[in-house]
Amino acid sequence: MNRFFAFIADVKSVLSWIVKFAALSPFLGILVNLGPIWPSEAGAATISSVTAAIVFMLSYEFLCSQSTPRQKKISKWVLVLSVLLLIGTSCAYFYLASKYVVEMPDAAHRVVTGSEYNPDVKKLVESDPTMHTPIELLKGANGQPEMIWTRESIAFNNRMLLTWWVMAWASFLLALSAFVTLRTPSRPRARR
């Protein structure tokens, strides 16, 4: 277990540098407001923490359990593939967020919209789509997306945003773990 805790300490050290860099960034407001809206900030943080624990346990078991040249090669491939996966999942998340998340009334208050209008709203939008944008519709509905879109389409978009967020987060953590594994000198295994 000592090797596992040392691995976690190494990962946390690199992660803390990334967080410190982000804190110095003038874009802190943008960085903090990137996560999924649903289920809640606390729920998303809990899911992100559980994801981190699972990724770190699996990374330790499969990337740090041996320090052979073959294992280093596997870690390099994991690093490359996880970075590619991070790029793909992040693009999917940001695409969905740009399409279905509306800042209402400002950036601090975000609302997930649906993809299917309620029948009465659908007729209104089809009459003049340029006049009835999602923001205008939400203003008319006091920021209540359920009055405009079907509950099922809103719930589906919430789940999709959360799924892509978790996959991007897991990819980032896997890349970070692989990087730490490659940069950490091998430690002797404890005898049982």
pLDDT in tens, 30-52: 445 677 888 887 787 788 888 88
What kind and span of H or E run contains 71?
helix 69-100
Residues whose CB falls within 8 Å of the CB of residue 36, separated by 6 or more in sequence, listed in order:
44, 158, 161, 162, 165
Domain ranges (residues) in the chain: 2-183
pTM score: 0.79
List of long-range contacts for 125-131, beta carbons under 8 Å, 24+ apart: none
Mean pLDDT of 65-73: 78
Type of residue at 189: R
Where does residue 64 rank: exposed (0-12), middle (13-18), buried (19+ CB within 10 A)? Answer: buried
Q: Half-sphere exposure (CA, 13 Å, Cβ side) for 113?
A: 23
Q: What is the pLDDT of residue 28?
A: 42
Q: What is the pLDDT of residue 109?
A: 82
DSSP state at residue 149: B
The yes-or-no verdict on residue 98 having pLDDT over 70 is yes
The yes-or-no verdict on residue 66 having pLDDT over 90 is no
